[in-house]
Amino acid sequence: MGRVIQSILTVILSVELIIGNLGNGFIVVVNCMDWIKRRKITSVEQILTALAISRIGVLWLVLLSWWISVLYPALRIPGKIFRVVYISLRVSNHFSFWFATCLGIFYFLKIANFSNSVFLYLKWRVKKVVSVTLLVSLVLLFINLIQMNIYIDTWIDGSKRNMSYNSSSWNYVQFYKVILFANSMFMFVPFTVSLATFLLLIISLWKHLKRMQHKARGSRDASTTAHVKALQTVIAFLLLYAVYFVSFLLQVWSFELLEKSPIILFVWATKIVFPSGHSYLLILGNCKLRQTFLSVLWWLRCRFKDARPESGPYGNFVR
């Protein structure tokens, strides 16, 4: 039974990796081709492209981590390999979260309507707000990487002093728990910002609908539609973010049960739901990407129908 579950989870993980690379790759290719064609790229397209590139990096590093866990069982991963792979994965995850947060901030400032002077000041300078947000995230990333390097050095030194397997395994579990807890604190910052933009969008929509009722107009005008679409984007991000955050808790528990590889596979499969699934929600939420995606699907459908042999006992010879 355990082998069956492991095989199913392996297939699910492989499918998620393929789907995620296809979705994020599609966003990069479409935006880059449009950039080359029109010789310009909008701010939203810049954020979407950077977000998709960072998530492609996350997916490939997850695949690399999976391979390393197979090549180096029983927690005997060389310190240098662990440092390079883990820090690279942390950097990719960082940009994945923060570019998604910047996208939510951009939608919020472009769509929401408040009479507050601070909000109007930020609304008129939305590009600068996004740029400053990314600069602040780089400072947090720098602090996080310094912290991670200190933890990794401490763990490697401790492992060298005590080479017994049971002790090194226990130290690795404790070390990984500390790292996961530290990273969860840094991940909580973009999550909080996204949650704040979500709540402010709800307040903005509520005020807008109230104004429309006083003017005796329909509530489904352009501004309302824009609010709803932005809320759908942010809600999807928050839900997938929550799934990713829960996977961190599962990962701590899985290291208590390292001999049960299906649990580890389940954790990996849960973690990459976010970078894989969110790309398709972004495609469906963007008019240009959605139309191009539907065109590609229609083209593939036509190609499949043309390549399919004719029915009948003589196949293609029957006309």
State the average pLDDT over residues 62-80: 69
The better pLDDT of the pair 250, 14 is held by 14
- Residue 318 predicted with pLDDT over 50: no
- Residue 132 predicted with pLDDT over 80: yes
Euclidean distance between CA atoms 273 and 228, whole angstroms: 24
The better pLDDT of the pair 74, 196 is held by 196
Least confident stretch, 98-102, 151-155, 297-301: 151-155
pLDDT band at 56; cut points 50, 70, 90? very high
pLDDT at 267 (0 to 100): 74
Cα dihedral 73→78→84→88 (10° resolution)? 20
State the average pLDDT over residues 38-59: 91
The share of the chain scoring above pLDDT 90, in percent, equals 17
User: Across the chain, what does the average pLDDT equal?
Assistant: 78
pTM of the entire predicted model: 0.83
The better pLDDT of the pair 260, 295 is held by 295
Least confident stretch, 149-153, 242-246, 298-302: 242-246
pLDDT at 143 (0 to 100): 92
pLDDT at 159 (0 to 100): 62
pLDDT band at 138; cut points 50, 70, 90? very high
pLDDT at 317 (0 to 100): 33
pLDDT at 216 (0 to 100): 52
Euclidean distance between CA atoms 226 and 27, whole angstroms: 21
Least confident stretch, 8-22, 34-48, 130-144, 199-213: 199-213
pLDDT at 134 (0 to 100): 93
Report pLDDT digits (tens) over 246-271: 776 666 665 555 445 666 777 777 87
> What size, in residues, is the chain?
319
Least confident stretch, 236-245, 278-287, 295-304: 236-245
